[in-house]
Structure 1
Amino acid sequence: MSKHPERLFVKGNEAIARGALAAKCKCFFGYPITPQNDIPEFMSSEMIKAGGDFVQAESEVAAANMLLGAGAAGIRAMTSSSSPGMSLKQEAISYMAGSEVPAVIINVNRGGPGLGDIGPAQGDYYQSTRGGGHGDYRHFTLAPGNVQEAYDLTIRAFDIAYEHRTPVLLLADAILGQMKEPIIPWTPEGVDEEAGREWALDGHKGQREKRLIKSLFLAEGELAEQNRHLQAKYDSWTELAEAEQFETEDADIVICAYGSIGRIAKTAVRKFRKEGKKVGLFRPITLYPFPSADLLTLAKQGKRFLTIEHNLGQMVDDVRLAIRTVADSDFYPIYPGNLPTPEELEAPILTCLEGK
């Protein structure tokens, strides 16, 4: 990779957009919804300057299906939205997964259910990690915890999407999207936009056999075979699971939190460490595949766990599944509609530390 000498002070949303351009994104399809509007606003000018195409679609449904079309043609493409808009995109995402069409999808999570509010929340975890549309499928899901990671993981999302022929979702929230931090932009080296496109629908011009991309399998046993193939691909992603571990080596209790809540929890962990209390943080960076093996290793060391989320309990299911043979996890919910602080997390952490 090549790093640029300057540091930029940008919002998380802009970092995502800049990361997409660095990854050679050539098409952006979107529709306005708060709190992700900085992404299409930035792309509306910068995508054109980069020689690509920007389309403000007539709806989230249209934007997602445009993404499906561009991906099927082998074009590096992206869409972005926030929670209600993501719900509208799910049918097309299911088609992309079933057709093995690469695409990058950004969700800057807001509060819900329904229209909720425009503030931060993590209520889209289930939708983002279980395949939010119909059928048996998963897609790779990344969760940045700061603005630099928002840039870095967007680039990684394009790499994964086109290496594994899958939709990749980057799950942020209103805190991360709207906060400003310095980043060091960099450009991946050797991005070959033509490599690995032997499946793409780019026009045979009478010079090769026709290609077909589909998610409809009607012949006897054909769909079962496709699902076996997809599941084998999802299983292979386990080795790509990633998490940040902070002060976990000697921790008596490990806080499990992701995204912006992981960042806030880290501040609380630092305070407890200054007081001599053995608290650590486990922050998943890949939500799917979930870093279960690393979490199980900590559980086998006799540690206790507290999962903290900005929802009513979703990632805690994956935490409990990961450690179920040797341990369990307590849970502390931050209700969507509230803006959490490190001080708010101190009491539930202390309660778990004291074994109450």
Structure 2
Amino acid sequence: MGKVLMKGNEVIGEAAIHAGCIYFFGYPITPQSELVAYMAKRLPEVNGLFLQAESEVAAINMVYGAASAGVRVMTSSSSPGFSLKQEGISYLAGAELPAVIVNIGRGGPGLGNIQPAQSDYFQVTKGGGHGDYYTPVLAPSTLQEIIELTSEAFRIADDYRTPVILLGDGMLGQMMEPVEFRGIEEKEFKEKDWATSGTEGDGPPRVITSLDLSDIKLEERNNRLQEKYSMIKKQEIKVDSLYTEDAEYIVIAYGTVARMVQSAIEKAREEGMKIGLIRPVTLWPFPSEVISRISEDIKGILAVEMSAGQMVEDVRLAVEGKTPVSFYGRTGGVIPSVEEIYEAIMKLGKGVTA
């Protein structure tokens, strides 16, 4: 299969199928509805199961059931719909069930609008639902990268028995780019000897639950989860960098915003400014050590987001006061232009912080 022109939402669906996911439970909400429609069409063609649930709450609980049976399963939504899934995501984390949840973010808070935004960062990286849990979060910046990271999301989910979030925005979901489903091979899935798929009398019954009425047993579960999260932090951090070798300043951005930042950086470098880009690919775990190390040798950092300033808090924690951190953001679905980012970069070079 050569290159094909596809919309971002559709790329996610096809990439999931290539990753072995043939079960999908979802509910339409702009700007991710094309993903739901794509899976409704494609899954019957590959002997899969698509079901449009009556709500986002129903969809995430159907995911819980399918994941319990040991199959690769996915659901998707956009910001307000994703909020409705939080209780179910907490249940998935507590029961240690692998699943992939896609969030194609839009402007908020509240119903907001259908324009792209990155204002769900706190929600996806800090737990979102109740209890002491985290979900690995992958943030692609191109449609080609979606293919790689969708496969990675299912791999991480299975390896660690955890829900994983694939985070995009309305721009990524709606744009069209040529993509190639290259290097995708049939994968041997790990045997899930914990799944409620029936034991046929060979061994004790398998029970999956997040309920522990004993405080001691629930603490043991929490300790096991924290050990798992520590392992994920050590092994699953992904970060991309550009022009950092000689950089005196660094811009940090993720997702589609990083693409505009790159154009602004290239313009600034043409004028002699030594500036580089760090793009977190995993938002959780966050590449704190990478940022901490590089902050020791530079004059300043600029965080750029389509939000009022959320990722910037993790940047400042990583920097630990070693260098000034400034911020530039647009909210409500407004997309920052390359020129705006360039001007913010120029202010950074002059020592102007925000």
TM (normalized to structure 2)? 0.97
- For residue 147 of structure 2, what is the aligned residue in structure 1? 151
Q: CA–CA distance in 1 between the matches of 2:266 and 2:90?
A: 41
- For residue 233 of structure 1, what is the aligned residue in structure 2? 228
The one-letter amino acid of 2:196's match is L
8 Å CA contact retained: 1:126, 1:132: yes
- For residue 67 of structure 2, what is the aligned residue in structure 1? 71
The one-letter amino acid of 1:293's match is E
Question: What is the correspondence of 1:1-356 to structure 2 with a 5 Å cutoff?
Answer: 4=1, 6-186=2-182, 188-193=184-189, 195-238=190-233, 239-324=235-320, 326-356=322-352
The one-letter amino acid of 1:276's match is G
Cα displacement string for residues 105-137 of structure 1 (whole angstroms, at most 9, x for unaligned residues): 000000000010000000100001011111110
8 Å CA contact retained: 1:163, 1:196: no
8 Å CA contact retained: 1:8, 1:182: yes
Residue 231 of structure 1 deviates from its aligned partner by: 0.7
Residue 14 of structure 1 deviates from its aligned partner by: 1.0
The one-letter amino acid of 1:128's match is V
Residue 220 of structure 1 deviates from its aligned partner by: 4.2
Residue 304 of structure 1 deviates from its aligned partner by: 1.4
Moved more, 270-279 or 32-41: 270-279
8 Å CA contact retained: 1:109, 1:123: yes
Residue 325 of structure 1 deviates from its aligned partner by: 5.0
Q: CA–CA distance in 1 between the matches of 2:215 and 2:163?
A: 27
Residue 337 of structure 1 deviates from its aligned partner by: 3.0
The one-letter amino acid of 1:230's match is L
Mark the runs of 5 or more structure 2 residues left unpaired by the alignment.
none
Secondary structure, aligned partner of 1:192: coil
Name the Cα RMSD after superposition.
Answer: 1.2
Secondary structure, aligned partner of 2:85: helix
8 Å CA contact retained: 1:118, 1:174: yes
Secondary structure, aligned partner of 2:332: coil
- Closer, same or farther: CA 174–220 of 1 in aligned 2, 3 Å: closer
Residue 327 of structure 1 deviates from its aligned partner by: 2.7
8 Å CA contact retained: 1:269, 1:279: yes
- Closer, same or farther: CA 325–229 of 1 in aligned 2, 3 Å: farther
Moved more, 7-16 or 323-332: 323-332
Residue 211 of structure 1 deviates from its aligned partner by: 1.1
8 Å CA contact retained: 1:34, 1:118: yes
Residue 192 of structure 1 deviates from its aligned partner by: 2.3
Tell me how many residue pairs correspond in the alignment. 351
Secondary structure, aligned partner of 1:221: helix
The one-letter amino acid of 1:206's match is G
Q: CA–CA distance in 1 between the matches of 2:244 and 2:232?
A: 24
Mark the runs of 5 or more structure 1 residues left unpaired by the alignment.
none
Moved more, 196-205 or 112-121: 196-205
Q: CA–CA distance in 2 between the matches of 1:42 and 1:31?
A: 12
